[in-house]
A and B are shown apart, each in its own frame.
Chain A
Amino acid sequence: MASEFHNLQELCPSASLATKVFIQRDYSDGTSCKFHTKFPPELEGRIERPLLEETVKTLNGFYREAERISGHAYLEGCLACATAYIIYLCLDTRYEKVLKKISSYIQEQNEKIFAPRGLLITDPIERGMRVIEISVFEDGGSSGSSSSCSGSGSPAGGSTR
């Protein structure tokens, strides 16, 4: 998180953290990882509804893919059992591969969509997969309006397990 904060500082040196908005998990389908697509009222005016909803829906899709119970997942599980689970020490699981995709997707979204609007999304894995944390930055120069930060910049940090 500190590295992401510093990246936004590079993009827009006068930005300071104003507040954090949390999108909670949606447990209506059980324990599978899914986040509420309801638009948080605190972000009204900061970002267009469809953009945020699209981001959350895409993230939900990624997690659904990671947790999908398919023939491939069963094969991986059975192979792991047959090798007394030594294989987990050697190879990345399918879930971990999808997590890497999620990390690069969030980084891309931050650079293209969120940073120009003075927002920053934290990868849910860094918050125990409980929330999508959206940091709201205020431009130090203007009073309370959205900042005019450039979209390009160094990559935001998305840590793995």
Chain B
Amino acid sequence: MKNCEYQQIDPRALTSPTATPTSTLPLANKNVQRQRRKWEVFPGRNRFFCDGRIIVARQSGVLPLTLGLILITSGLFFIFDCPFLVANLTVFIPVIAGVLFVFVVFSLLHTSFTDPGILPRALPEEAADIEKQIDNSGSSSYRPPPRTKEILINDQVVKLKYCFTCKMFRPPRTSHCSLCDNCVERFDHHCPWVGNCVGKRNYRFFYTFIVSLSFLTSFIFGCVITHLTLRAQGGNGILSAVQQSPASIVELVVCFFSIWSILGLSGFHTYLVASNLTTNEDIKGSWSSKRGAEDYKNPYSYNNIFTNCCVVLCGPMPPSLIDRRGFLPADEIPPVITTEQELPPFMAKNDTNMEDTCQDFALSCTG
């Protein structure tokens, strides 16, 4: 055979018309040019709004209910009770209520929309370095090496646990929230009423929220009782007073049931703030002296109620560690593009193979 009668098949002709390499290339360029922000690839279970400025847990819980109850109750109070009270008592009633309402709403929104102190997950190199340290420390080959580290904080032994999701040893007072799938610093609890975790960065907002809410509900409760009493005294008894102002009953019911829980919660958190504890530590009894023979003492407390309060509520505001609005580096191309670009490299590989095969065939033909 003098000439091998073969024709090199252009692999690109084999591709389907809709996914030709030439058509994906401009799309790839377009996607590379549009830089993505880090919040778009955030691994935790959170939702972001306003291009990463606002962060909430994926499950918003009953936040709409909380907001709704506050707005409706306060709205009813301002519309139906305030005119009577201003006319019969003083104009400061709606002023005080207004100030408390502003505090409640702003602190609620701050608590819900602020990063609670989420720790970003360890990057692969850091995780590998930690794994190396764990393997080196665990000498026994029969058991996996222990994934805890003991450190001394103010002469108190504290155990640091390894987080398998975030691939790092959790700093002290940090806990992994299973609802948000994030490690949160100084983790207090995940609050469904607020729709977010309560941690280092938003604890003061949460405390302001529950304290101002307890004042607001008590204030509205007291004012509504005063309003109905005054109407009853002036009119034909309590029933006619209720008939004249039915909205007051709604407010009374809401406030009555809220006051017990909110006041109790405020009292509990005031105790936590004064002793520099978190709800998580208190529930687990981490620093309770009842555990064992050793005297467990809270190593983070300043042993002074005033100092503890100042540090927890008025201490420096730490920064957010998850850079939500930062841009992803250009070499981290989102996976969407790679699936579209799968064909060209695949084809290219086949192309060279085919060329080699053809050359071999050609050689064997001319033989």
Within 8 A of A (CB), among B112-168: 119-120, 122-123, 125-126, 129, 151-154, 158, 160, 168
Given contacts A1-B329, A128-B321, contact A30 B172 (CB under 8 A): yes
Asked if B205 lies at the interface with its beta carbon under 8 angstroms from chain A, I say yes
The reply to whether A77 and B318 contact each other, CB–CB distance below 8 Å, is: no
CB contact list, A68-107 vs B, under 8 A: 68-69, 73-74, 76-78, 80-81, 84-86, 88, 93-96, 99
Known: A130-B171, A161-B320. A77 touches B313 (CB 8 A): yes
Neighbouring A residues of B120 by C-beta, 8 Å: 127-128
Q: Which residues of B contact A (CB under 8 A)?
A: 102-103, 106-107, 110, 119-120, 122-123, 125-126, 129, 151-154, 158, 160, 168, 171-173, 185-186, 204-205, 208, 299-300, 310-311, 313-323, 326, 329-331
Pick 19 A–B contacts, CB within 8 A, sort by A: A20-B126, A27-B153, A27-B171, A28-B153, A67-B318, A73-B316, A74-B314, A77-B204, A78-B314, A84-B208, A85-B107, A85-B205, A94-B316, A127-B120, A129-B321, A130-B122, A131-B126, A159-B326, A160-B323
Closest to B317 in A: A93
Asked if B319 and A86 sit within 8 Å, CB to CB, the answer is no
Q: Say yes or no: A73-B129 contact (C-beta < 8 A), given A2-B331, A27-B171, A130-B122.
A: no
Q: Which residues in B have their C-beta under 8 angstroms from that of A80? A: 317
Please tell me which one of the listed residues A20, A28, A31, A95 contacts residue B152 in the complex, with CB atoms under 8 A apart: A28
Report if A25 contacts B (CB, 8 A).
yes
B196 to chain A, nearest CB (A): 15
A159 neighbours in B (Cβ, 8 Å): 323, 326
A-B contact count (CB 8 A): 115
Least distance between B274 CB and chain A CB atoms (Å): 16
Q: Residue A22 contacts which of B103, B126, B152 (CB distance < 8 angstroms)? A: B126
Find the A residue at minimum CB distance from B307: A69
**Could you tell me which A residues sit within 8 Å of B by CB distance?**
1-3, 20, 22, 25, 27-31, 66-69, 73-74, 76-78, 80-81, 84-86, 88, 93-96, 99, 125-131, 133, 159-161
* Cβ-neighbour of B125 out of A20, A74, A128, A130 (below 8 A): A20
Given contacts A28-B151, A159-B326, 4 further A-B contacts (CB under 8 A): A22-B126, A28-B153, A77-B314, A84-B107
Q: How far is the CA of A159 from the CA of B327 in the complex (A)?
A: 10
When the two chains form their complex, are residues B315 and A69 in contact, meaning their CB atoms are under 8 A apart? yes
Knowing A69-B310, A128-B321 are in contact, say whether A85-B208 is a contact too (CB < 8 A). yes
Distance in angstroms from B134 CB to nearest chain A CB is: 13
Shortest distance from the beta carbon of B213 to any chain A beta carbon, whole Å: 13
Give the residue of A25, A27, A81, A129 whose beta carbon is less than 8 angstroms from that of B314.
Answer: A81
Provide the main secondary structure of the chain A interface.
mixed
Cβ–Cβ contact B102 & A31, under 8 A: no
Q: How far is the CA of A129 from the CA of B320 in the complex (A)?
A: 10
Measured CA separation A93–B319 after assembly (Å):
9
Chain A residues near B326 (CB-CB < 8 A): 159
Q: Which residue of B lies closest to A159 (CB)?
A: B326
A68→B122 contact, CB < 8 A:
no
By Cβ-Cβ distance, the 9 closest A-B pairs, closest first, are A77-B314, A2-B329, A84-B106, A128-B120, A161-B319, A128-B321, A93-B317, A161-B320, A74-B314
Quote the shortest CB–CB distance from B109 to chain A (angstroms): 9
Q: CB distance B319 to A96 under 8 Å?
A: yes
Complex interface: chain A residues within 8 A of B320 (CB): 161
| A74–B329 CA distance with the chains assembled, in angstroms | 38
Q: Are B126 and A127 in contact (CB under 8 A)?
A: yes
Find out whether the CB atom of A99 lies under 8 angstroms from the CB atom of B319. Answer: yes
Please determine whether B316 and A93 come into contact, CB atoms closer than 8 angstroms: yes
> What's the least CB distance linking A119 to chain B, in Å?
15
A3 to B326, CA, bound (A): 13
Residues of B within 8 A of A67 (CB): 315-316, 318
- List, in ascending order, chain B residues with CB within 8 A of A128's CB: 119-120, 122, 321-322
* Nearest opposing residue in chain A for B326, CB measure: A159
- B325 nearest CB neighbor, chain A only: A161
Q: How far is the CB of A113 from chain B (nearest CB, A)?
A: 22
Give the distance in Å from the alpha carbon of A50 to the alpha carbon of B123 in the complex.
29
A94→B160 CA distance, assembly (Å):
30
